Chain A
Amino acid sequence: MSKTTATPSTGEDILGRVEEMQRDLDGSYRDEIVEAIYQDAEAITRKVVQTGETASYPWDQKLDRIVTSRIWGLPFMALLLAVVFWITISGANVPSAMLAEGLFWLGAQGVALFEALGMPWWVTGFIWHGVYRGLAWVIAVMLPPMAIFFPIFTILEDLGYLPRVAFNVDALFKKAGAHGKQALTMSMGLGCNAAGVVACRVIDSPRERLIAILTNNFMPCNGRWPTLIILATLFVAAAFPPAFAAMAAAGSLVLIVLIGAATTLLVSAILSRSFLRGEASSFTLELPPYRRPSILRVLYTSLIDRTIFVLWRAVVMAVPAGGAIWLLSNIYAGGQSLTVWVSQWLEPVGRAIGLDGVILLAYIIAIPANEIVVPTIIMAYTGAGMMIELDTMAELRQLLVVQEGWTLLTAVCLMLFSLLHNPCSTTMWTVYRETKSVKWTVVSGLMPLAIAFILLFIVAQTAYWIMGLAGW
Chain B
Amino acid sequence: MTGIIVLIALGVLFLPQYGLYWRYRRRRWVQSRQAVEDALAHLHQFQHDGRPASVESLSNTLGTSTGHTLILVDRMAQMDLVAVTGQGMRLTAAGHRWALQIVRAHRLFERYLADETSVPREKIHAHAHQLEHTVSEAQVDKMDADMGHPAFDPQGDPIPNAAGDMKEIKSQKLVEWPAGVPAQIVHIEDEPPEVYAQIIAEDLHPGMVITILDISSVRVVIGTPENEHVLAPVVAANISVREAPIDRVEPSGVPLTALKHGEQGRVVALSPACQGLTRRRFLDLGLTPGVRVERVMQSAFSDPTAYRVRGTMIALRREQSDLILIDQGTRQEREITV
Contact = CB atoms under 8 A, between A and B. Distances in A.
Interface stretch (A22-30, A107-115, A256-264, A365-373): A22-30
Contacts of B161: 19
Interface string A36-47: 001000000000
Contact of A170 (B118, B291, B299): B299
Contacts of B288: 31, 34-35, 38
Contacts of A364: none
A285 B280 CA distance: 14
A344 interface: no
A205 interface: yes
A171 B299 CA distance: 9
A24 B158 CA distance: 12
Nearest to B308: A57
Chain B contact-residue range equals 35 or more
B188 to A, nearest CB: 13
A170 B277 contact: no
A65 B300 contact: no
Contacts of B298: 68, 70
Given A35-B288, A68-B298, A282 B306 contact: no
B311 A287 contact: no
A167 B299 contact: yes
B54 interface: no
A188 B280 CA distance: 28
A97 B289 CA distance: 62
A279 interface: yes
Contacts of A288: 312-313
A346 to B, nearest CB: 39
Interface string B298-325: 1111111010000111111101100000
Nearest to B274: A282
Contacts of B296: 61, 64
Given A204-B277, A289-B313, A68 B152 contact: no
B270 interface: yes
Contacts of A174: 303, 317
Given A25-B151, A205-B118, A284-B320, A73 B304 contact: no
A171 B304 contact: yes
Contact of A55 (B148, B278, B311): B311
B117 interface: yes
A22 B277 CA distance: 21
Interface string A265-297: 000000000000011111111111100000000
A61 B278 CA distance: 28
A64 B312 CA distance: 14
B131 interface: no
Nearest to B206: A27
A38 B286 contact: yes
A28 B278 contact: no
A23 B152 CA distance: 9
A83 interface: no
Interface string B135-151: 00000000000001101
B206 A284 contact: no
A69 B302 CA distance: 9
Interface string B70-85: 0000000000000000
Contacts of B329: none
B283 interface: yes
B120 interface: yes
B281 interface: yes
A64 B151 CA distance: 46
A285 B118 contact: no
A169 interface: yes
28 contacts: A23-B167, A31-B270, A31-B288, A38-B288, A64-B297, A68-B300, A68-B306, A73-B300, A167-B304, A167-B306, A169-B301, A170-B301, A170-B303, A171-B299, A171-B303, A174-B317, A204-B118, A204-B277, A279-B120, A280-B319, A282-B118, A282-B278, A284-B285, A284-B316, A285-B314, A285-B315, A286-B313, A287-B315
